[in-house]
Amino acid sequence: MLTTKSKRHILLAVSLVIGCSINPAKAQVPMPGSGSGTSSTLRLNPNVDLTGKVTTNLMPAEKLLSQGKYSEAEDTFRELLVNNPADVNAQAGLGMALAKQFKLDGADEMFERVLKQDPNNATAYAGKAAIILNRLQSSSGTIRANRDSFLKQAQDYATRATTLAPASGEAHYTLGQVYKEQGNLDQAASELRTALSLDPQHSQAYSALGHIKLDQNSLAEAAEDFRQAINFNSGNSSAHYGLGMALLKQGSVDDAIKELNTSLYQFPNSWPVHMALGDAYQKQGNEVAALKEYQQSILIKPENADPYLRIADIRENRGDLELAIADLRSGLTQIPYNIDLRQRIADTCLKLEKADDAIKGYRTILQMSPNDNRAVKGLSQALYLKAQKAAVGALLASNDYETALKTLDDAIKLNPDDMELRLAQAKLMSLAGTRPDLSKIGSPQSDGERVAAAEAMMAQGNYLQAQQLFQGVVNNMNEAKQAFAVADVAFMVKDLDSAEVAYKRAQSLSGSPDRVQRGLDGIEKLKKTALEDVRVGNELSNKKQFDGAVDRFRHGLSLNPKLADARLGLGRALEHSKKPSSAVLSEAAQQYELYLALKTDLPAKEADKLRSQAGKLKEKAAGLAEKEQKNKAG
């Protein structure tokens, strides 16, 4: 007679090996090893089958499975089934060997065969749940679209397995993995702890619990769980991957690379490990190796956005912005509804000063995700950039300007405490000649708000205050990447002095020397070109070719809006242009005022004279505006 303990062992059979095919991290993860022979309460009994009859010895096949030699295990199980086709344990073992090699249809067929002989076989139900979790790693659009229903089915199978075998650590582990994929981390952690209480040496349960703690940024606890998993099964590639990630986040890059390479050796076809190695190499400054790993990750999982974004980082760091956009667009062909990719493309267009392309990109995002704050703020930046390059009047009459103001208004209603949105609105309103009192918006508290406030002040012509804010933010930076980000924003709004300070700050923080030099060279080029525009503009004005002069002064100011002589030259050219409209005279007065704000060392007599001239132009513009309005009405 069989003892109760023997019956339990027979009933629970082969689910020890299930765990290594289940995804322990997000999407596809390293294929873990199966653990030591004693790491689960579900052990193969090589001497008896479910009816109590003596069966073929399964020990060699089970050993191969536990060693991760899945192809050899498959061959051995098949040989056993040739001799005894009805051996349920051999059928289940073959199903596991097939599942390990992602031969999921064959594995499912074997588990179905087991269930026909034993409808209450817990191992088969847990195995079918594991198969579903493995199928979710596929890039198939159909599977991705039906992810929730697949997970519900996996939950039903795993729950039935725990009901049939409540003392099975493996069954609880499988259910925990399902909960983890569903995002129910508390329930997942509870099931995994139950699995460990039933089987304290369950390597995969430790690994899965470690990944949950890693996601929660409990790095020390996660690392300890991963080390425990490796202690019980050195072939657990998921644990090596998780430990590598924990070490990488803790700054131990060399140790992280060692663990990640171990994981990759055990499971070469893992996109998360290639992704993590790319991050590690990028932190070391080895961009060539990082690119290779990111591209390998894409080959395995092309619908994952992260590697495309990381590759764009490297391209931008090298100054290859056009190539960065090309890489991002290739990602968009795989995941056309990904907002992050579209946002990055629009942001990069903005850095290239392709304002129209950026505006189109942000508007597309807002159609997909109304009131997306990043897109709303980006749209305001694009319009501001466009206004720097063209006559403001033409921009104000465009649909883009009205649409942006309405979008900002809607976003502010939903996020009334978002200071950056209010500052973006103030920046756009300033283009129309309205000067909102920025002090009423509040005092910026974060560096993001300070940068937004600096942009708004640039739009209002408060250049010195904008520079103070920018440089205050730069002084707070502790990483080169942050300093480069501030430098790029300052460069984009053409606060060239602040951009220069930010690039030099990045250099002091060991930022890429090539990127620093490109930034400084770009600033120097803009300054020289703007000065040349002023020289040519003055020559054209002297020849009374005021329309041409206006164009050259505008171009110079689009490159360096803080160039005082360009402000003065533009004001004079506008004032003396042929039959100036009220808008032209108003802008001339505004240019004189901006010149006075920039030229702080101007003798008092000259300053008073120019201030008086600006006042007279405003009065003349107001009178002319009344006539223009009457003519329209008539």
Q: What is the architecture of the domain spanning 337-442?
A: Alpha Horseshoe (1.25)
Element (H, E) at 336: none
| Contact status, residue 233 vs residue 213, Cβ threshold 8 Å | no
By CB atoms closer than 10 A (0-12, 13-18, 19+), residue 19 is buried
- Asked if pLDDT for residue 317 goes beyond 90, the answer is no
Residues facing 48 on adjacent strands: 54
560 CB contacts (<8 Å, ≥6 apart)? 494, 496, 526, 527, 530, 566
**Model confidence over 525-567: pLDDT tens digits?**
999 999 999 999 999 999 999 999 999 999 999 899 999 999 9
Q: List, for residues 171-206, the tens digit of each pLDDT value.
A: 898 899 999 999 999 999 999 999 999 988 888 899
Q: Is the pTM of this model over 0.85?
A: no
589 neighbors 614 (Cβ within 8 angstroms): yes
The CATH number assigned to the domain with range 4-269 reads 1.25.40.10
CATH superfamily ID and name for 527-633: Tetratricopeptide repeat domain (1.25.40.10)
Beta strand ranges found along 316-456 (DSSP E) = none
pLDDT of residue 53: 36
Q: In this structure, what are the phi and psi dihedrals at residue 238, rounded to the nearest 5 degrees?
A: -65, -35
According to the model, what pLDDT value does residue 37 have?
32
Helices 447-460 and 463-476: crossing angle in degrees, nearest 10, is 160
The single-letter code of the amino acid at 506 is A
What is d(CA 133, CA 494) in angstroms, rounded to the nearest whole number?
51
- How do residues 213-261 score in pLDDT, each as one tens digit? 999 999 999 999 999 999 988 888 999 999 999 999 999 999 999 999 9
What are 232's two structure tokens?
């019980």
Q: Give 95-152 as a DSSP string.
A: HHHHHHTT-HHHHHHHHHHHHHH-TT-HHHHHHHHHHHHHHTTS--HHHHHTHHHHHH
Question: Where would I find the H helices in 493-545?
Answer: 496-508, 513-542
d(CA 291, CA 311): 6
d(CA 479, CA 499): 16
The predicted model gives 115-143 an average pLDDT of 85
**Using only C-alpha atoms, what is the Rg of the chain?**
33
Residue ranges matching CATH 1.25.40.10 in the chain: 4-269, 337-442, 527-633
